[in-house]
Each structure stands twice: as structure tokens, then as C-alpha cells.
Chain A
Amino acid sequence: MRPPVLRVLGVSKSFGGAAALRNVSVEFRPGEVHALMGMNGAGKSTLVQIISGALNPDEGLLEVDGHTQNHLTPRRARRVGISCVPQRRELVMTLTVAENIMLGDLPASGSMVRWNRVRATAQRALTDLGIAIDADAVAGDLTVAEQTMVEVAREVRRGGRVLILDEPTACLGPEAAAQIRELVLRLRDNGVAIVFISHHISEVLHLADRITVLRDGQVTWAGLAKETDEKGLVRDMVGRDVVSRRPVRPAGSPDVGISIRRLCDGRFLDRFDVDVRRGEIVAVLGPAGDAQSRLFDLLSGRRRPDSGTVSIGGRAVRPGRIAHSLASGLRCVTGDRRRLGLIPGLTIDENVLLAQDRLEGRRLHRWGRLAERAAPLRDDYRVVSLVRNPPVEQLSGGNQQKVLLAKWLGTAPSAVLLEDPTNGVDVAAMAEIHSLVDGLTGQGVAVLLASSSAEEVMRLADRVVVVRDGRRIAEYQVDRITRDELLAATLGGAL
């Protein structure tokens, strides 16, 4: 076994009296994929910030190649070969891939940039990693997966020997996620030490060589991936067993809640039909960015479809009007909570009641009553925060997602569109969100689930419509198909 390139020894860190990390020790070796797992707030991001130099530990030390590194800064961390690809893409979207890769290090003679060298070096950095992306493409035109790859190539070219990948496969469809995983394996075979952060347990079990699990700032399990299994990992992360299983649901009522007929929108949707009965969950499954990701814009009224109709409870909704969509009893919960879901600077209570207060036509807000009115929703949706009512931007992803669900599902909807409802959320929060969605069907709500995750569809839906290139290619009863068959069906159209 090769000696570790980076060692974390007995590191502790606390913020304002609350311990984020307690006596954590980890070793990262070259040619190894080392997964960090844990729930939101377990201390993963604090640990990542410490090894990438953004934070200094209160106690303990870091060793790179056997040399102690005191007072690491992001710049020094990068110089010794530790680099981080964060969860949100950090490319300059208006520049080309080549410029992005060479950013801060443009080859120049005098003060003139040598564009040929820029292009050639960047292209070589990409091809060396087996990435087929044109260096002249504009970064903003790439898919999210391709942008991630460009960032990886940039870090590797800069000499990254320890590469921290923070949830690189979140928000990606199965195919794109597979591409990222292949890249990770190639990097590993090139001798890079990979720190891999992911909430997808099955992905980690397949990909990682070694796993370290954190809970409440402490290491609860560390060892080789082959020594553990899904159940064990969950127990180490949560501290108890988490079961999220399909409940037995009574047959839905015969009344149709949502009816979509011949919906067309550019190349994204081509004469799309679906019916959802009340008390039923119907999933639309497709690769990320395909037809299902247009449903939010069209159903919420943000965007007008080219043609086609949407009816809620038998009554047609006027297209392209947010007010009409809301008045019909339809609630659309976005999968992009940062951009379209929450107002980051406002508090939990205000975000939770944002839509409800407007729908009720409330004119005056008494701040004492605000907390009182928000309390039941916060309890029902298990929103947890350290201080009483912080701005939502300070919450973990899982809690933000619960605030978003509370905001919309607390308004007594008759029909709901859910877009990737457990995006970037840990196992425990995921199980809670799943049972909240189960609860909706009990109230006779028609639920349309737009998803790019086959697991989620298998867990939640009664029926699934598979889409590809804007067309519906198949429909199944979920209890008569296996996950693998469903995955095969999703990928089938590609061949």
C-alpha cells in the first residue's frame, strides 16, 4: 500500500461553542477513492474546508507527504496539490473551456496572450483524462456534467494530487453520473487521491475503495468499502436504522386530478400526454434536462407552452399565467430551490408562509403571530435550525428542501408537481420527505413527480412514464417492474 499523501490527525473545530469536528483522523492515499459520508451538518464540509485550507483547525494537524502543514491557506493547499471541485460550478460561463482551464495561468509572451498555446494546452489537459469536450466551446453551453469535467481537468492540470469532489453527481441523470464515475476511476488509476462526497449510498459502495463516515463531527466508521454494506452505512450515518419503503396504498380514486393533453414546447416536449388520478403518484422519468424538467416551467405558468392543455380537477388552466395556475389548486415545487424555490435572505418563517399569505390575501403581518402561524408547518415538515429563525440561506440543503415543501404543501393543494424532491438531501431527510409525499396521497392529492432518479421513482410512484428527447417512450406500473428494467427502459432509446 502506498503511503498517504494527506493525513488529518486528531482535528477538532468548533464554531461559537458548537463542535463541528471532534478529534477526527483520516488518511488519503494516492490511487484510492476515499468517500466521506454523513448527513447534512455531520461535519463533512467543515473537514473539506480544513483540508482545502479555507479553515484552520482548533486542534490537531495536517500532514502532506509526511510534512506538517500549519496555517494552510487555499493558495498554499493548492500549491502542495490539494484542490477542490465544489458542489456549485465555478466556471466563468461566458468564457471558453480553454480559457477556463488556463484561468490565472494564461501562457503569454510579454503581455500578449498566446491563444494557440492556451487552446493546445487545455485540449491536452482534457484528452489526457479521456474527456471529449471541445476546448473552444463556451463553458455556459455545456451540460452540468461536462462543466464538472472541465473543472476536474483544470484542477488536475494545476497539479492536483488530492482532488476533493463535493457531490459531483448531484443533479445529474444516470448517464451523466456514469460519465463522472468513469472519470473518477481514470483519475484514481493515474494515482490521484480522490476525496469523494456523495449522498448516494449505492454509488459510493460501487465506486469507493475506502469510506469514512461522520456523525455529529465524529468518525463513526472507517474502513474499506467492501467491509460494509448499505444498511451498515446508514446506521453509521444516522445512528439508527432508516427504513424508507413503499407503503401499501389504497387504489386511487377514479377522479382525474391532473390531465395533460398534447403538450408541446420546442424540442423539449412533443405532444406529451399524462393523467394523474387523485391520490395517485405518477412519475415522469427522463435524463436530467429532458422533458420532465420543462414541466415545472409550463405547469407553474412561468412559461407558455407552444400548444396543448393542462387541466386540474377537470378544469382547463390558462397557460402561461402564474396566478391561474395557483388558483386552480396546483402547486409546483421546483427542484432548483436556490433559483426558483426560496428567498435566501428571508427567514424560515417568512419563506414558509410566503405563498400562503399571498394566497389568503393577507394585508398586515404581525411578527409575533408569524412565528405562531409558522410553527405547525415547521413541526410537520421537521425543519430543524440551531437558532430560532435564521435566514434560510444558513440552513443545510435538507432543511432548505423541507422549508420549500412546507411552503407549498402547507397550502392545502389539490394537485402537486414535485420536481426532484430529494435533490442534495441526506438519507434521513430523504426518508422523511418520502413519507411526507406518501401522506399527500392519503389526502387525495394528485401528485406528478418529475424525476431523473430511478430509485426515487421506484420508491414513490404508482405509475411511471419514461420520456426521452421530449417524447413519451413507455409507461409502466411500478409494482410490475424492477429497478433494473426501469433503468434499461430509460437508457433504451439511446441505442
Chain B
Amino acid sequence: MTSPSTLAKPKPAASPLARLRSIPHLGLLAVLIAIVIFASVRTDAFLNPNNLINVARQVSVVAVIAAGLTLLMVAGGMDFSMGGNVAVTTAVAAQMLSHGWSTAVTLAVSIALSIAVGLVNGAVVTFTRVAPFVATLATATLLDGVALLVIDGMSISIDDHLSTLGNGKTLGLPNLTFVAALVLAVTAFVMRYTTFGRDAFAIGGNEDVARLSGINVVRDKLLLYGLAGALSGLAGIMLLSRLAASSPGTGGLQLQLTAVAAVVIGGTSLAGGKGTIGGTILGVLLLGVVANVLNLLQISSYYQQISVGAVLLVAAVANLMQSRGKH
């Protein structure tokens, strides 16, 4: 029984350590800062503005995918096919542009296509109750194949179509980064302030309770997978604009795994119900910076993979230890 006297008691003054602990994603932030300091000491190239802009451009594509994935995973969903969706979008858009379709039509068709893919995922997961992990892994494989089919295993160049998006800058920052920032900001707003976003937390927290509370779970899930598809499409266009070509291996499972890793490092629960865009941003930055630093230090690609895995592990443990410490 909580007596009124315990309520009135002032909270014990927070120790500096406790205050430090209350900073969200502290462990992740510390790892990121440590890597940045390490990199700037080891190589001058890291803090070079051109390099930083390059990093910003690279992480922008992952950030857009990760934003959609965060919202979906908060609702207890999962989409492994976003990378495959990116591959198909880049392939279709590249073929259309190289065959002389206008940019506007190309964008409309490829985004519509990616939304359709997302809705198919959503429909399978919602109506057949196949585990999202399994269903979307299947579509991921399928889409990777379709992408190869569309470009016939070759590299399709788009010349300087989309170059304003891919290489243009505004106020010294890449346009791609502005697009990513906008997507992240809107997703963060949706997650925190709209009923749709709060529904996602409720569905991920306990789907039965959400349904009984009058939330249209079927509609929300379809929308969430559709949104994940749409953002994959956008990421596909962004990637195409940056690379100016679609080749075998553009997008696909590797990109997908980076996005999943970023979201999970950012503290979003695989079981649903918990997650923040702030954490996802840190996760995306961390992976982007690590990849960049390893490249600059000219470390062999074998060690690169090993290091990325190690960083993932350290960040995940750091995250968990902080959330335990709060209890």
C-alpha cells in the first residue's frame, strides 16, 4: 500500500551518476563518441569536410529504411524485404529512365510498386498469420531475383537524371541528407503525437488488448507494411540517384541487414512495444561511421566485417546494461 506520506516525500537528490544514466542511449552515444575521437586521432582524412559529407550521403539511404523499420518493429512487425524492395525499385526506375520515361512518371511508378510490395507483405502477415520474419524473408529472396531479372544482370546507367537529388547540395549539406532528416522527423512526430503512432506501440505491447480497445489492428498493420514499402521505394530512388546506376547487388540483403542492425542497436525491441527514432539515428550513424573509418584506415575487408560485428555486440550490450541499471 502506498501511503500518502511516501508520495509527498521529496525524491532523493539524484547523484551525478544517476543523472548521467538518465541520458537516453548513453551507452550508444559513448561508443559513437569514442569511435569518432579514435578516428580523428588516427587519420586526418576523417574530419575532412568532403569525407563527412560522403558519410552523410551514405547513411541517408539506410536512415530512410531504418525509420520505416523502427515504426514497424515497434508494432511488433518485421520486414526483411525492404532491401529487396530497394533493389527492385532501383532496377525498375533505372530501366524506365534509360528508356526515356520522364522522371515524374518513373518516380510515381516505382514508389507505387514499392507500396504494393509492402502491402502484399502486410496482407500475408496479417491474414495468414505467418510469422513476419519468415514471410518477409521469402519475399526478400523473391525480390532480389526480380531485381536481377529487371536489369538482366547488367548495370543500367541513368546518366545525370536525378543528379540534383543524388549529388546536389543545399547550404553545404547533401540533398539526400535533407530528405532523410525530413523522413526521420516526420516518423518521430508520427510515433509520438499521432494516434496511428501510439496504436503501433499498443499493438506491439499487446495485440489482443489493442484490438479489444477499439484499435483497427488489421488496417494499422497493412498501413505499417505499406509505409515500410513506400520508404523502401524512396530509399531506392535515393540510392539510384547517388550511384547513377542500378547494378546486380544494389540494395538487397546486405543493405537490409545494416538497417535492421541500426534499429536494433538503437534500442528498438524485437518483441515490439519499445523503440525511438533517436536511438535509430544513433544506430545508423554508428554503423556508417564505423564503415567509413575502417575504409579510411585501409583495413582489409575481412577485418571490416569482424569489426562491424564486434561494434554491434558492444553497443547492444551497452544498451541493455543501461536499461537494466535504471531498474
Contacts and interface: CB of A to CB of B under 8 A. Distances in A.
Interface string B202-230: 10011011111111100000000000000
Contact of A17 (B1, B12, B195, B211): B12
A39 B195 contact: no
Given A40-B1, A340-B209, A428-B1, A345 B273 contact: yes
B128 interface: no
A329 to B, nearest CB: 13
B7 interface: yes
A426 interface: yes
B300 interface: no
A365 interface: yes
A355 B213 contact: yes
Contacts of B212: 300, 302, 322, 332, 334, 340
Q: Size range of the interface on A?
A: 35 or more
Interface in B1-46: 1-3, 6-7, 9, 12
B194 A365 contact: yes
A339 interface: yes
> Counting chain A CB atoms within 10 Å of each CB, which of B1, B9, B192 scores highest?
B1
A344 B205 contact: yes
Given A339-B208, A342-B209, A358 B214 contact: yes
A343 B210 contact: yes
Q: Size range of the interface on B?
A: 20 to 34
B213 A41 contact: no
Given A342-B209, A344-B205, A355 B214 contact: yes
Given A17-B12, A332-B212, A384-B2, A346 B195 contact: no
B9 to A, nearest CB: 8
Nearest to A428: B1
A343 B273 contact: yes
A359 B198 contact: no
B303 interface: no
Contacts of A358: 195, 199, 213-215
B1 A41 contact: yes
A101 to B, nearest CB: 30
Contact of A323 (B201, B206, B214): B214
B210 A385 contact: no
Interface in A403-424: 407
Contacts of B205: 343-346
B186 to A, nearest CB: 14
A458 interface: no
A9 interface: no
Given A16-B12, A343-B273, A344-B205, A365 B214 contact: no
Contacts of A366: 193
Contacts of B199: 358
A42 B1 contact: yes
A357 B2 contact: no
Given A322-B214, A359-B214, A364 B1 contact: no
A409 to B, nearest CB: 14
Contacts of B7: 384, 386
A339 B208 CA distance: 8
Contacts of A322: 211-212, 214
Interface in A213-270: 215-216, 238
A341 interface: yes
Given A345-B273, A384-B7, A326 B214 contact: yes
Contacts of B214: 322-323, 326, 355, 358-359
A350 interface: yes
A429 to B, nearest CB: 9
B242 interface: no
B57 interface: no
Contacts of B3: 216
Contacts of B1: 39-42, 215-216, 238, 426, 428
Interface in B205-263: 205-206, 208-216
Given A323-B214, A358-B213, A18 B274 contact: no
Nearest to B210: A343
Contacts of A343: 201-202, 205-206, 209-210, 273
Nearest to A336: B208
A364 B195 contact: yes
> Counting chain A CB atoms within 10 Å of each CB, which of B7, B209, B274 scores highest?
B209
A222 B205 CA distance: 42
Q: What are the 8 closest A-B residue pairs judged by CB atoms, nearest first?
A: A343-B205, A358-B214, A39-B1, A355-B213, A17-B12, A384-B2, A345-B273, A354-B213
Interface of B: 1-3, 6-7, 9, 12, 192-195, 198-199, 201-202, 205-206, 208-216, 273-274
Interface of A: 16-18, 39-42, 215-216, 238, 300, 302, 322-323, 326, 332, 334, 339-346, 350, 354-355, 357-359, 362-367, 384-386, 407, 426, 428
Given A346-B205, A365-B198, 8 more contacts: A41-B2, A354-B209, A358-B195, A358-B213, A362-B195, A364-B195, A367-B192, A384-B7
27 contacts: A42-B1, A302-B211, A322-B211, A322-B212, A326-B214, A334-B212, A342-B209, A343-B201, A343-B209, A344-B206, A345-B274, A346-B201, A346-B202, A354-B202, A355-B214, A357-B198, A358-B195, A358-B213, A362-B195, A363-B195, A365-B192, A365-B194, A365-B195, A367-B193, A385-B2, A386-B7, A407-B213
